[in-house]
Amino acid sequence: MSAFRNTELFKATGLTLNSSTNSVTAGTVNATTGRTGAIDVSRISNGLLIVTVADAPTGTDPTLAVFFDVLDATGGTWVQTSSATSIGGALLTSSGYTYGQISNGYTLTNLGRIRWELTGTTPSFTGVSFSIHGRP
């Protein structure tokens, strides 16, 4: 029996999300590589993106939608690969977690990003963690 081999591609913890739309390519350090920028997904064929919110959000009717995007073949346009609503089809409105599967191979390029959108009046989510794990 072979053991499951899991590769961690991305990890960021303790984030505060309070801008309406942003992504990890805008300065969030990947604790796995120590770098910012796009996430190299070339080493996996299937992955899981996990989002955890440790603290209750603030603002009026705050919602958090998280997406996984990849660069197109020309490297100039980000293309959304997750559900139209959010990864796993779930919006976060309180502390807790959500997750969604991502796939690589012939359908995706090698560079990806985690993107989020907030709605509500002055929404803020603190204690947010993102992680991507995958199988080679």
With cut-offs at 50, 70 and 90, classify the pLDDT of residue 41.
confident
Residue 45 lies in a domain: yes
The one-letter amino acid at 14: G
Task: Give the pLDDT confidence score for residue 40 in this predicted structure.
Answer: 87
Residue 72 lies in a domain: yes
The one-letter amino acid at 65: A
Beta bridge partners of 92: 64
Task: Give the pLDDT confidence score for residue 65 in this predicted structure.
Answer: 92
Percent residues over pLDDT 90 in the chain:
32
Nearest Cα to 130, choosing from 66, 71, 80? Answer: 66
Taking residue 65's Cβ as centre, other Cβ atoms within 10 Å add up to 22
With cut-offs at 50, 70 and 90, classify the pLDDT of residue 105.
very low
Taking residue 112's Cβ as centre, other Cβ atoms within 10 Å add up to 29
Residue 52 lies in a domain: yes
Domain containing 72 equals 7-135
Q: Are 78 and 22 in contact (CB under 8 A)?
A: no
Residue 76 lies in a domain: yes
* CA-to-CA dists, residue 112 to 18, 22, 42, 75, 131, angstroms: 22, 14, 10, 11, 13
Overall number of domains in the chain: 1
d(CA 106, CA 76): 18
pLDDT at 2 over 80: no
d(CA 43, CA 64): 28
pLDDT at 103 over 50: yes
CATH number at residue 126: 2.60.120
pLDDT at 4 over 60: no
Return the higher-pLDDT residue of 87 and 75: 87
